[in-house]
Structure 1
Amino acid sequence: MTAVAIKMYTQEEYLELERAAEYKSEYYRGEIFAMSGARLNHNRVKENLSIAVGLFLRGKSCSSLSSDMRVHIPENTLYTYPDLLIVCGKPILLDEHMDTLLNPSVIIEVLSPSTASYDQGKKFHFYRSMQSLVEYILIDSQEVGARVHRKGSDGVWFVSSEAYEIEGSIEIGHIGLTLKMVDIYDQTIGIL
């Protein structure tokens, strides 16, 4: 058997390719990983969150950005596209292209069958190295379920809020927003 060599890319090569690509890819330690499309419920949940968070933040010092905003974590080389993020204060961008954020305050990932393990495990580990990040929120797209991880003043992460019933709610403490599960899952199919 012959081993297949994996092409390795520099961060600069990745950014050049990504900025010209018709699809999104993530980057980690020289490797590029194509992102797959999302299913209906994933998109519906993401849209519901985007609307609720965006309306709540209107006129405030924080703003939300959708999954088209790339995030970079210099400490571990990861370039990724969170489903939704919140940045408070002035956004710090990688360069003049203004397409890569370095300082999200809150990241929200909507779990899909193909990404759930990664989002809850290794990706969360990567995200925790960001000094600016204070909350990481996971929302299930297959059944009612949400969990908010918050960084304490001592730097230790803990679960600050979670809900697994449609009558429940979660709190994004950093911005003071309570989200009802019924609103998060509005118009989803087969969940409610």
Structure 2
Amino acid sequence: MEARKYDFTMVTTKKKRYTFEEYEALERAEGVRYEYIDGEVFAMAGTTKRHNTIVLAFARALFPFAQKSGYAVFTESIKQKLRTGEKYVYPDVIYTCEPADLADDSETVVRSPSLLIEVVSESSLRTDSYNKRLEYFKIPSLQYYLLASQTAPVVEVYERSADFWKYTIYEGLDTTISLEKLGITISLAEVLN
């Protein structure tokens, strides 16, 4: 009896490429958030209650500073335009001081943030601490990038200096983060408790 031969060659399908306008229409039609990377769309994973609580706590802590200065805080559903290629992602929290970002309430995109915050989990740690960080550092207006842990009272802070990014770890609920360039102080107890 002759053995059968099978061809296990993988069949690949070409991914659909979207224009930015098609991408925004897709999000509106489906009610799903997608990150947009050079024409390809990637669905955003859902979050946990803990993640959402931390995001809201950061927004609440930042709001008085933004209101006093005429700036704005956005969370999770506003896109950040990256500098390289045609890329749009969803940081957890965006703080912007740029008048152009504040001019039109119907916009879905921020282009010139001063502060970006990601609340990291095991699954997002690599993307947020490496891939996104490298892209975020290319944004000229960005002064601070924060990575907040969901599982411990720890926040990593990257601060723009003249020729480099200064890195500091803040640990413990009795710790306060000072973002001097923006005139902001945040207690870890108010955002990670």
Pick the TM interval, shorter chain.
Answer: 0.7 to 0.9
Q: Aligned partners of 2:87 and 2:179: how far apart in 1?
A: 25
How many Å apart are 1:60 and its aligned residue?
0.9
Aligned residue in 2 for 1:48: 57
The Cα RMSD (Å) is 2.1
* Residues 148 and 171, structure 1, Cα contact 8 Å, conserved in 2: no
User: For residues 134-145 of structure 1, what are the structure 2 equivalents within 5 Å?
Assistant: 134-145=143-154
State TM-score, norm by structure 2. Answer: 0.86
The alignment status of 1:72 with 2:93, answered yes or no, reads no
Aligned residue in 2 for 1:125: 134
* Residues 110 and 138, structure 1, Cα contact 8 Å, conserved in 2: yes
State TM-score, norm by structure 1. Answer: 0.86
* Residues 162 and 170, structure 1, Cα contact 8 Å, conserved in 2: no
Greater CA radius of gyration, 1 or 2?
2
Q: Secondary structure at the match of 1:85?
A: strand
Q: Which amino acid aligns with 1:157?
A: W
Q: Which runs of no fewer than 5 residues in structure 1 stay unpaired? A: 187-192
* Pick aligned residue for 2:175 from 152, 168, 182: 168
Closer, same or farther: CA 63–92 of 1 in aligned 2, 3 Å: closer
Runs ≥4 in structure 1, deviation > 4 angstroms? none
Q: Which amino acid aligns with 2:172?
A: E
* Pick aligned residue for 2:188 from 176, 181, 185: 181
Q: Aligned partners of 1:89 and 1:7: how far apart in 2?
A: 34
Q: Aligned partners of 1:59 and 1:169: how far apart in 2?
A: 20
Q: Aligned partners of 1:91 and 1:19: how far apart in 2?
A: 23
Q: Which amino acid aligns with 1:173?
A: E
Aligned residue in 2 for 1:19: 28
Aligned residue in 1 for 2:39: 30
Aligned residue in 2 for 1:58: 67
Q: Which amino acid aligns with 1:125?
A: L
Q: Which runs of no fewer than 5 residues in structure 2 stay unpaired? A: 1-8
> Between Structure 1 and Structure 2, how many residues are aligned?
184
